[in-house]
């Protein structure tokens, strides 16, 4: 839906809305660059999706301040108005110690809940001390929400008005926060959107803290997942682990007298803005000369991926598929180049560091196997770029490969489809992403099946231009029908009915 329409519909539903969004990751990071302070937009699906919503609803966003200059730019209430130059919402920063980040973020969230939820055969590293820290940090986020609620009440002089205070928690970092907020005031409306998959009950059952996690989540009034399958897995876990009363007719769980609705809300992007922005980008313009130099070997077909360097993203499998593709179809040697964009992430976790090293050495091996004097097939360019640069590459690529072993949604797939305003590209998409449910006109792959993956690369490149255009147009219409404003409106209006 159009931004304008979103604002009208929200006004119809809620007379006044006070939205408090809470996430680990902040939308904008302030860093020192010498003596100057620079602000950078955070990468990652959560912040990209939520930012346009906060701009429109003028709410407060509570998040961990991780930038070196984050403390230097906030007021006495830890707040800063964003975005720079078009101030519309407040970011309220919360600060964590090194020990807290190690135990809560690297430890419990990303070494337990992350591998457990994705089921990519990476064993979670259970550690009760990290869980304690995770609990305490969730309490800290809850306290920051409560402080905000108190200050809203003080500004209203304790008068009840028709304002809806809505607390919207984001993601697996904050599975326990609702419990602590409800302990302060049971009547507060709280919801969480879980941005990653929810595993099947057999996998979830190995988690030592499974009951506490489920109980924490069931303190919310509404829980959103991307797809129905994740909702079903969650409901089954509630039956198995808590013997809670599950109502499969309305997808709700009643536990200790409190009812929680569990529904799918497939997340998306600000599709119209990206389409319009991309339409105005001319890839032949001189402003892209520096980016053109990123791809030194000459090529006829560019394959592109944009991923955080993460073992769930199937980057190794993709490199293996490219190797096999060149072996099976040698006519592409010297003509095909694969460019991997993205950023290293969570590098303090050994599994991530090892994965990063493996990708580098696999790239080296494959390049050595095929290279000639002025051509090699794989380029890793792992630096953060702005949206315009990503769109330049999307528009230049013959195919974009999105091949996670498991992913809640994956917004790169949607971003590429909306950027393909010349209809010259094609999407190769893992069946194990939430976005494959909507984008079934992509060339769908099982990234574990390397042989079929290699064949699909060829198939996608060789699709007739007319078919590419038809498929991309169909997918663009699907994305436009459920963009980020639909997502937020559907979620918030569901919460209003509870
Ligand atoms: O996909 C899950 C998620 O938490 C997203 O919500 C976010 O975009 C991404 O991972 C980035 O993670 P991090 O905040 O750890 O860099």
The three state secondary structure string of 340-395 is EEEEECCCCCHHHHHHHHHHHHHHHHHHHHHCECCECCEEEECCCCCHHHHHHHHH
Q: Which residues of 284-295 are buried (b: 16+ CB within 10 A; e: fewer)?
A: eeeebeebeeeb
Res 157: pLDDT: 64
Res 453: pLDDT: 98
Regarding the beta carbon of 309 and ligand 1, being less than 6 Å apart is answered no
Confidence grade of residue 461 (pLDDT, cut at 50, 70, 90): very high
- Pairwise CA distance, residues 269 & 234, whole Å: 25
| pLDDT surpasses 60 at 421 | yes
Ligand 1 mean position, distance from CA 296 (Å): 31
Exposed/middle/buried for 159, CB within 10 Å: 0-12, 13-18, 19+? exposed
Res 158: pLDDT: 56
Confidence grade of residue 428 (pLDDT, cut at 50, 70, 90): very high
Regarding the beta carbon of 49 and ligand 1, being less than 6 Å apart is answered no
Q: Which residue's CA is minimally distant from atom 12 of ligand 1?
A: 44
| pLDDT surpasses 70 at 298 | yes
- Pairwise CA distance, residues 478 & 439, whole Å: 8
Res 16: pLDDT: 85
Res 43: pLDDT: 81
Six-digit token string for 253? 């769980």
Q: Which residue's CA is minimally distant from atom 9 of ligand 1?
A: 44
Q: Which residue's CA is minimally distant from atom 7 of ligand 1?
A: 44
Q: How far is CA 218 from the centre of its chain?
A: 23
Six-digit token string for 417? 């489809």
Ligand 1 mean position, distance from CA 406 (Å): 14
271-481: CATH number: 3.40.50.2000
Q: Which residue's CA is minimally distant from atom 11 of ligand 1?
A: 44
Q: At a CB cut-off of 8 Å and minimum separation 6, what does 491 contact?
A: 168, 191, 193, 222, 224, 265
Ligand 1 mean position, distance from CA 281 (Å): 28
The residue to which tokens 């791809």 are assigned? 295
Ligand 1 atom with minimal separation from the 409 CA: 1
Confidence grade of residue 84 (pLDDT, cut at 50, 70, 90): confident
Res 160: pLDDT: 57
Q: Which residue's CA is minimally distant from atom 15 of ligand 1?
A: 346
Q: What is the mean pLDDT of residues 280-293?
A: 96
Q: At a CB cut-off of 8 Å and minimum separation 6, what does 144 contact?
A: 22, 62, 92, 94
Q: Would you list the domain boundaries of the chain?
A: 3-267+484-497, 271-481
**What is each CA distance from 204 to 99, 107, 228, 230, 352, in whole angstroms?**
27, 17, 17, 12, 22
Longest dimension (CA), the chain: 76
Cβ atoms of residues 413 and 429 within 8 Å: yes
Confidence grade of residue 44 (pLDDT, cut at 50, 70, 90): confident
Task: Centre a 10 Å sphere on the Cβ of residue 18 and count the other Cβ atoms it contains.
Answer: 18
| pLDDT surpasses 70 at 392 | yes
Six-digit token string for 484? 């980020």
The residue to which tokens 């057999």 are assigned? 202
- Pairwise CA distance, residues 458 & 229, whole Å: 31
What's domain 3-267+484-497's architecture?
Answer: 3-Layer(aba) Sandwich (3.40)
Confidence grade of residue 60 (pLDDT, cut at 50, 70, 90): very high
Regarding the beta carbon of 25 and ligand 1, being less than 6 Å apart is answered yes
| pLDDT surpasses 80 at 340 | yes
Cβ atoms of residues 347 and 353 within 8 Å: yes
pLDDT tens digits along 152-192? 888 876 555 677 899 999 999 999 999 999 999 999 999 99
Six-digit token string for 200? 């099947």
Ligand 1 atom with minimal separation from the 110 CA: 15
Ligand 1 atom with minimal separation from the 114 CA: 2
Regarding the beta carbon of 45 and ligand 1, being less than 6 Å apart is answered yes
Strand stretches in 310-461, DSSP E: 336-344, 378-381, 399-402, 426-430, 443-445
| pLDDT surpasses 60 at 209 | yes
As a whole number, the mean pLDDT across the chain is 96
Asked whether the domain spanning 271-481 has the same topology as the one spanning 3-267+484-497, the reply is: yes
Res 156: pLDDT: 74
Dihedral (C-alpha) 231, 233, 237, 243: value to the nearest 10 degrees? 70
| pLDDT surpasses 70 at 48 | yes
Six-digit token string for 213? 């996690």
């Amino acid at each position: 839906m159009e931004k304008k329409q979103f604002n009208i519909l929200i006004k119809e539903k809620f007379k006044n809305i006070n939205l408090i969004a809470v996430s680990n990751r902040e939308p904008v990071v302030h860093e020192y660059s010498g003596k100057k302070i620079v602000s950078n937009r955070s990468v990652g699906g959560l912040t990209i999706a939520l930012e346009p919503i906060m701009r429109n609803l003028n709410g407060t966003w509570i998040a961990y301040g991780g930038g070196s200059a984050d403390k230097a730019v906030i007021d006495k209430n830890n707040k800063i108005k964003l975005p720079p130059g078009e101030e519309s919402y407040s970011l309220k920063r919360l600060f964590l110690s090194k020990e807290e980040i190690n135990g809560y973020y690297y430890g419990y969230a990303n070494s337990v809940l992350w591998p457990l939820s994705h089921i990519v055969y990476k064993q979670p590293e259970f550690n009760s001390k990290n869980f304690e820290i995770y609990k305490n940090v969730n309490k800290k986020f809850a306290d920051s929400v409560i402080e905000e609620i108190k200050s809203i009440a003080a500004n209203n002089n304790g008068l009840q008005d028709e304002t809806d205070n809505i607390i919207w928690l984001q993601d697996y970092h904050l599975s326990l926060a609702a419990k602590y907020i409800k302990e302060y005031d049971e009547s507060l409306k709280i919801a969480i959107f879980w941005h990653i998959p929810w595993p099947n009950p057999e996998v979830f059952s190995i988690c030592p803290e499974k009951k506490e996690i489920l109980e924490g989540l069931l303190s919310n009034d509404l829980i959103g997942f991307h797809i129905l399958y994740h909702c079903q897995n969650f409901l089954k876990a509630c039956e198995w682990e808590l013997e809670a009363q599950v109502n499969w007719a309305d997808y709700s769980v009643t536990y200790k007298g409190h009812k929680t609705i569990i529904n799918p809300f497939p997340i998306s992007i600000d599709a119209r803005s990206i389409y319009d922005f991309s339409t105005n980008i001319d890839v032949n313009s001189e402003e892209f000369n520096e980016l053109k130099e990123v791809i030194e070997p000459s090529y006829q077909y560019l394959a592109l991926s944009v991923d955080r360097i993460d073992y769930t993203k199937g980057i190794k499998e993709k490199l293996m598929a490219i190797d096999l593709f060149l072996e099976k179809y040698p006519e592409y040697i010297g003509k095909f180049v694969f460019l991997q964009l993205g950023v290293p992430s969570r590098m303090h976790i050994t599994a991530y560091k090892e994965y990063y090293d493996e990708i580098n050495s696999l790239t080296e091996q494959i390049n050595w196997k095929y290279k000639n004097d002025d051509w090699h097939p794989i380029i890793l360019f792992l630096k953060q770029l702005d949206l315009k640069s990503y769109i330049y590459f999307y528009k230049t690529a013959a195919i974009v490969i999105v091949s996670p072993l498991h992913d809640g949604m994956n917004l790169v797939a949607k971003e590429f489809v909306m950027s393909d305003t010349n209809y010259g590209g094609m999407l190769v998409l893992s069946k194990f992403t939430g976005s494959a449910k909507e984008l079934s006109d992509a060339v769908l792959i099982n990234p574990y099946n390397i042989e079929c993956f290699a064949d699909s690369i060829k198939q996608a490149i060789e699709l007739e231009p007319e078919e590419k255009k038809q498929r991309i147009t169909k997918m663009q219409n699907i994305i436009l029908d459920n963009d980020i404003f639909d997502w937020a409106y559907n979620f918030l209006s569901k919460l209003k009915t509870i």
